[in-house]
């Protein structure tokens, strides 16, 4: 296909401003004229957005490249075949009216023959709040289906469930990022900030300059652990063992905040009972972490005047992810380090709008503002905003991975995917393409023909982050406005327009009448009024004037809430819940046949399934293929030669890749990044066991065999 036309700026004064499309920092950026690029534009950091301290990482600086990439889809495309034929059939261009008519007709037919719940919607965590909101409304009002979920299920669901259980509220960070600077003890567990949220590092470095002690807990020595005072190289699966050891010391030495626990928490007795067996010596015996290190961290954190605990996917993407997260929250609560400046707990959100994406109705059981489908009052309130009878709203559905299973089982016959690539991002992914071939209709809205779109009957060209106006909510709960910087290329449409126009084709357009994207936000704000994530006091005007607002913000004169839980938690009695955690085994312990642990994660030059960054030359050159990290001990065990390749085999699949031998990883653990599809996809090996509460898959622990891979004959 021809390359997209050179972008035209919506505003010519500075060529436009925006926010990065990648991680949850959502750094501000400016488009400036440049004679050094083929499109006459370049990206530079915005000095005015306070979150990123005037910086961009390499992904942000290169974010224009995928927007103008020659593989960009700029017109609707269709295929008429089915099943395996879709993989070889050539795309045919189509008009939008033809696309809407065909899709709506087939959806109506499937609904008539199989029922409304034979249709599913699969969303994304990088969409704007407005699009997330509309997608949830579309699924429930235009389609009437219970089956809607999103890829954030693979990202933040364990932390969200833990936050709701402990605090009564899920906001990734209970404090603003700026509070990190005044923390005197910081624990970073299962999070590699330097590579995943690089522009957050200045906050940590400032804290260190101010005298903070930083502890990293990770099976690898990472770019983040280089700034740490203490690094605990913990094998995946032992998080709660370690935390119980820390809590054991804090309780045994009476280092806990007695008044805070008595006045502001419940459940201390069950926690006390659970941690008794986990003395530092016992923790060393189980996990290999030295007893002296356990005592040092426990005493340091408990005695520090201020302290923060930050967690991420390393401990959350496990079948015990909710319990792991609750135990780290226990640390903040028993030491009274929450609800005051320089203190708090934070689950570091991964995706651009992972926070807002789960607040406004994409999750299987939720309505906008964290209202619940199973709550009669919540149903009635949102139904009134939408102008429908509460009885019309379907009940809750299932998680993202379980929706894919229902396709394979034949219950779901049609699916609409917007802003997601589940063929690459899902665990045990080798079967998912075959499942998608069973669909009578797959519609994908995307910028590119992704690995998922290859199975689609319709591929609709949506908008990039530079072409669509809207709001997002970053990892600290700050809502901000992102303006439109570029005009749409070709026949692309704004994502929200595609949703509204498809609803109209389905005969439900009366419920999707908006003059512009700001009208969508105003309705979203009304739908969240009085809810946990209350946006009702937020407007575009305020966001532009005040450079963002923290929710909850329940009125026009409310300043927003940067620091949560100053006086009370969100449970009815105002108290947080402490939990006694008994560490459990992973779903797939190592054994004689599969004696090592595979864990996955990111590298700094790529993002999620790589659909955008693998098309960015400057980024892809740095990491064109996945490389496995293994310890020298393991390399010796398998007889790996210099520059050798390895074969990793789990009970679900096998992957051959290059190996990097490094002392900076747990000896029995292998790390592989997950940004590639096809035969390079590590998720063909990962385990699809789900956390019983969050339904998060166990990406981070998988039993494997590791063998040297002979070089091809021509390589000798």
Model confidence at 636, in pLDDT bands (50, 70, 90)?
very high
* Tokens encoding 598: 């595979």
pLDDT attached to residue 716:
42
Extract the runs of DSSP E, i.e. beta strands, from 650-688: 654-661, 669-673
**3-class SS at 140?**
helix
Q: Residue 9 pLDDT > 80, yes or no?
A: no
Question: β-strand 596-601 against 669-673: which pairing, if any?
Answer: parallel
The DSSP 8-state label assigned to residue 665 in this structure reads B
Q: Which CATH class is domain 157-347?
A: alpha beta
Contact predicate 594/574, CB 8 Å: no
Topology adopted by domain 77-128+145-154+364-471+482-517 = Rossmann fold (3.40.50)
Digit-coded pLDDT (tens) for 333-353? 999 999 999 999 999 998 989
Enumerate the CATH 3.40.50.740 domain ranges in the chain, comma separated: 77-128+145-154+364-471+482-517
pLDDT digits (tens, 9 = 90+) for 108-127: 999 999 999 999 999 999 99
Q: 200, exposed or middle or buried, with CB in 10 Å at 0-12, 13-18, 19+?
A: buried
Write down the residue that tokens 């074969």 correspond to. 647
Q: At what angle do helices 280-287 and 239-252 cross, to 10 degrees?
A: 170
Alpha helices by DSSP H, listed for 304-363, are 313-316, 321-334, 354-359
Contact between 95 and 75 under an 8 Å Cβ cutoff? The reply is no
Q: How many residues does the chain have?
A: 716
When pLDDT is cut at 50, 70 and 90, the band that residue 11 belongs to is: very low
Neighbouring-strand partners of residue 460: 445
Please tell me the pTM assigned to this model.
0.95
pLDDT of res. 1: 40
pLDDT average, residue stretch 485-489: 96
Each residue of 27-64: b (16+ CB within 10 Å) or e? bbbbbeeeeeeebebbbebbeebebbbebbbebbbbbb
Q: What is the Cα–Cα distance from 161 to 347, expressed in whole angstroms?
A: 11
CATH 3.40.228.10 domain extents, the chain: 157-347
Q: How far apart are alpha carbons 215 and 244 in whole angstroms?
A: 16
Q: How confident is the model at residue 711 (pLDDT cuts 50, 70, 90)?
A: confident
Phi-psi region of 370 (alpha: psi -120 to 50; beta: other; left: phi over 0): left
Over residues 202-257, the pLDDT tens digits come to 999 999 999 999 999 999 999 999 999 999 999 999 999 999 999 999 999 999 99
User: Which one-letter DSSP state was computed for residue 63?
Assistant: T
Alpha-carbon gap, residue 543 to 530, rounded angstroms = 20
Q: Indicate the pLDDT class of residue 52, thresholds 50, 70 and 90.
A: confident
Residue range(s) in the chain whose domain bears CATH number 2.40.40.20: 596-715
Query: Of the candidates 489, 465, 518, 484, which has an alpha carbon nearest to the alpha carbon of residue 16?
Result: 484
* Residue 8: predicted pLDDT: 60
Mean pLDDT of the chain: 95
Evaluate if residue 15 carries a pLDDT over 90: no
Spatial distance between the Cα atoms of 446 and 612, rounded to a whole number of angstroms: 11
Per-residue model confidence as pLDDT tens digits over 78-107: 999 999 999 999 999 999 999 999 999 999
Domain at 596-715, CATH class: mainly beta
Q: What is the pLDDT of residue 714?
A: 53
Q: Which residues contact 79 (CB under 8 A, 6 or more apart)?
A: 85, 86, 89, 90, 91, 92, 456, 457, 458
246-294 pLDDT tens trace: 999 999 999 999 999 999 999 999 999 999 999 999 999 999 999 999 9
Tens-place pLDDT, residues 525-564: 999 999 999 999 999 999 999 989 999 999 999 999 999 9
């Amino acid at each position: 296909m021809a390359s997209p036309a050179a972008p035209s700026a919506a505003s010519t004064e500075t060529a436009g401003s925006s926010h990065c499309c990648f991680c949850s920092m959502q750094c501000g950026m400016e488009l400036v004229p440049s004679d050094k690029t083929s499109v006459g534009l370049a990206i530079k950091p915005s000095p005015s957005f306070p979150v990123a301290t005037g910086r961009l990482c390499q992904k942000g600086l290169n974010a224009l490249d995928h927007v103008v990439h020659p593989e960009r889809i700029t017109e609707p495309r269709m295929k008429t075949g089915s099943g395996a034929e879709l993989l070889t059939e050539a795309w045919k261009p189509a008009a939008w009216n033809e696309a809407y008519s065909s899709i709506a007709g087939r959806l109506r037919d499937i609904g008539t023959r199989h029922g409304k719940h034979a249709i599913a919607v699969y969303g994304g965590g990088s969409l704007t709040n407005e699009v997330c909101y509309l997608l949830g409304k579309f699924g429930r009002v235009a389609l009437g289906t219970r089956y809607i979920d999103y890829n954030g299920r693979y990202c933040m669901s364990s932390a969200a469930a833990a936050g709701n259980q402990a605090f009564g509220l899920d906001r990734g960070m209970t404090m603003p990022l700026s509070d990190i600077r005044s923390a005197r003890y910081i624990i970073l567990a299962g999070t590699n900030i330097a590579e995943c949220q690089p522009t957050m590092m200045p906050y940590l470095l400032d804290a260190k300059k101010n005298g903070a002690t930083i502890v990293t807990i990770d099976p690898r020595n990472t770019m983040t652990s280089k700034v740490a005072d203490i690094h605990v190289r913990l094998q995946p699966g032992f998080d709660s063992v370690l935390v119980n050891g820390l809590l054991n010391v804090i309780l045994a030495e009476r280092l806990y905040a007695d008044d805070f626990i008595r006045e502001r928490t419940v459940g201390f007795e069950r926690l006390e009972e659970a941690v008794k067996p986990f003395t530092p010596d016992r923790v060393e015996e189980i996990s290999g972490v030295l007893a002296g290190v356990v005592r040092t961290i426990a005493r340091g954190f408990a005695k520090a005047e201020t302290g923060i605990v930050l967690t991420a996917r390393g401990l959350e993407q496990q079948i015990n992810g909710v319990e792991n997260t609750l135990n780290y929250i226990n640390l903040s609560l028993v030491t009274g380090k929450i609800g005051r400046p320089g203190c708090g707990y934070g689950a570091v959100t991964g995706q651009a709008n992972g926070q807002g994406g789960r607040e406004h109705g994409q999750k299987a059981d939720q309505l906008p503002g964290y209202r619940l489908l199973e709550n009669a009052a919540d149903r009635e309130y949102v139904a009134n905003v939408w102008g429908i009878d509460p009885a019309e709203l379907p009940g809750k559905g299932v998680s993202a991975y379980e929706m894919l299973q229902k396709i394979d089982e034949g219950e779901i016959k049609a699916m609409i995917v917007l802003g997601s690539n589940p063929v690459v991002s899902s665990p045990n992914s080798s079967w998912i393409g075959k499942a998608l071939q069973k669909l009578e209709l797959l519609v994908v809205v995307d910028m590119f023909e992704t690995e998922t779109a290859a199975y689609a009957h319709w591929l609709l060209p949506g908008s990039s982050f530079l072409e669509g106006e809207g709001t997002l909510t970053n990892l600290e709960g700050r809502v901000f406005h992102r303006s439109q910087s570029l005009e749409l290329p070709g026949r692309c449409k704004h994502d929200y327009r595609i949703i509204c126009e498809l609803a109209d084709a389905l005969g439900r357009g009366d419920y999707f009448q908006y003059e512009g994207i700001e009208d969508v936000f105003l309705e979203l704000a009304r739908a969240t009024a009085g809810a946990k994530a209350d946006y009702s006091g937020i407007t575009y005007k305020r966001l532009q004037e005040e450079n963002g607002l923290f929710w909850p913000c329940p009125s026009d004169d409310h300043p927003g809430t940067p620091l949560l839980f100053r006086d009370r938690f969100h449970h009815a009695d105002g108290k947080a819940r402490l939990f006694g955690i008994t560490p459990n085994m992973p779903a797939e312990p190592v054994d004689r046949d599969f004696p090592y642990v595979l864990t996955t994660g990111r590298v700094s030059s790529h993002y999620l399934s790589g659909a955008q960054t693998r098309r960015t030359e400057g980024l892809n050159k740095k990491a064109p293929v996945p490389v496995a990290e293994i310890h020298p001990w393991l390399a010796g065990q398998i007889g790996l030669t210099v520059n050798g390749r390895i074969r990793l085999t789990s009970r679900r699949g096998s992957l051959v890749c290059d190996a990097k031998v490094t002392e900076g990883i747990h000896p029995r653990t292998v790390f592989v990044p997950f940004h590639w599809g096809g035969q390079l996809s590590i998720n063909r090996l990962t385990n699809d066991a789900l956390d019983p509460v969050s339904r998060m898959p166990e990406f981070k622990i998988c039993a494997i065999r590791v063998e040297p891979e002979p070089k091809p004959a021509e390589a000798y």
